[in-house]
Structure 1
Amino acid sequence: MSGDHHLPKALQGLRIPAIASPLFIISVPALVIAQCKAGVIGSFPALNAREGDGESPLLEAWLQEITDELDRHNQANPDAPAAPFAVNQIVHRSNARLDRDIEICAKWKVPVWITSLGARAEVNEAAHSCGGIALHDVINNRFAKKAIEKGADGLIAVAAGAGGHAGPQSPLALIREIREWFDGPLLLSGAIATGDSLLAALAMGADLGYIGSPFIATKEANAVQEYKQMIVDSGAEDIVTSSLFTGVSGNYLKSSISNAGMDPNALPQGDQKTMDFAAGSSKPKAWKEIWGAGQGIGAVEAITPAEDVVARIETEFHAAFERLKGRLA
């Protein structure tokens, strides 16, 4: 894509200006590889790769699988190489694996590092040590400034409507406040599920979109069929925001909450002190079938390969651009 030369090399030349966000449990090598081959940066949380006791680190095996397959693809398709990939690190004090996972990612020269739930200088330094860049996700301007002070190269503004641990602020306000002082790489997360919304993110001042929920309903996603179909069958009105399940505010599918025997309209507040990533997720196993999603899922009409999601958004993006040019002419 032209007009991206101000960005770090890892973020240039994408089919559409987007990163596929790391989805807990759902993002596995098959999905990441499909996303990268489709021309967007694929990503996964390091904590998705969980080996059994006494086994070799699964994260290392995943990184080898992704690296080898993308290398094979690039050698066979020199004129249409795959996009780079990213790994998400949960930088929370309860993540006992963090130091080990940082070492493994540095060894495999992960090109894009995404950090969440805490900004730590040593993680950014590890990314830089192997030639990578570090992007930190934030829900407000104060956290954004802290992340850059600690050495992050770019920011992911997680606004209202995003899946997972969503922020409460309007994207219009959040992007504007960050852009008042920061001119580096800036992504927007929050209901980016169409080419129209991706173009709107760029018009607001973001460099790229951060797309998550549409990739849940893909053939490569590690999600049960019922979850994928619920994404297809639901819209923005079927999303509920709650802090009950992890201690931090997040967006979830109402039907999955109802299926678990709870009233989605009368959920108690959660406690942030209960957040614990020692088991890979801060969500207790009792709630493993409470399914996250963002408000943009109304755009998802079928379970398709990841390539089809990217192709749809690309077509919509260019159509929206032409339509806007006509309006402004």
Structure 2
Amino acid sequence: MARRPQPYEKLPGRWMSLFNRRTLWQGADHLLWVEHTMMQETYRRFYFKDIQALVMRRNRLHHLWSAFWGGLALITGAMALTLGSSGFVLEGFTLVWGLCLLLHLVKGPCCEVFIQTAVQRERLTTQIRERQAIKVLDRIKAQAEKAQGVYRPPAPSDRPPAATVDIGADTTGARMNDPLAPPFKPMLHQILFTVAITHGLFGGLLLWLQQPYLAALSTATLVTTLVLAITALVRGHAAARGTLLVTATWLTLVLACLNGVFAYGMYMYATIRHPELAFDYWSLIQSFLALHVTAGPVRWALLTGFAAGALALGAVGLAAATLQGKR
């Protein structure tokens, strides 16, 4: 018995998060957008005969990731040269960050892709690299032209008069000038990135002075950064969507979450080392803070990376929030 042909073909690209995964499939007469969560799947169809436009534009994400991986490689490399032999731990981290930077550069520029119909415009988050996005859009364009006919631009005499457009204007924050959009106030983001910079400074001072009170201040600013990042994304995401400010806020949240997981791991390690302190919370917290002072090479490298990342993202985000507030 012959096997039935597959009705859908998966297009290249995938978007994944902790609890979410998105994929794009090509059917006979439409595209199928599939979003998987832990409890359900959501489907959305884009028929080729209804597609009006395919839009691709570069974004600043490529430069942010280049600065992130390059900064980590630079910090751990400088530490390896300054501190001397560390059992090849710092050298290994430098190699890993360098390979991540090289792989990122080889993949090419980052981009955003949108599909436009008469009733909706959807961002295809599965396409984040320009080279791959061009191939996928060429396939979609071929199917759309097959369903609608080849697009032929109108003659010059039939075209409506063109509107005046400022070529140098930045359209990324067009929503900021929309009178129907909620007013954007950058104060919350400015506080967030100021706290992130403060957290990075406390982390750097901890590496130098090795005092438990600096570990306590670093932990407190980390928790504050997490709360402010979530609040800023909830309150300001709609007004500043698609801007460098939102990207920096997301990266700050991701870095703070990773730092939080690492801090929680150190807390659990302190609990396992001192089971007799299970109900003496103050002594247990003191043991947790002392771990930051007596950390080994691997933990020192991670603490250095988190501090450098907080400083870099805080500076970029604070500059983006200041510029966004002036528009």
Greater radius of gyration (CA): 2
Normalized per residue, which structure has more helix?
2
Is the TM-score greater than 0.5? no
TM-score by length of structure 2 reads: 0.23
TM-score by length of structure 1 reads: 0.23
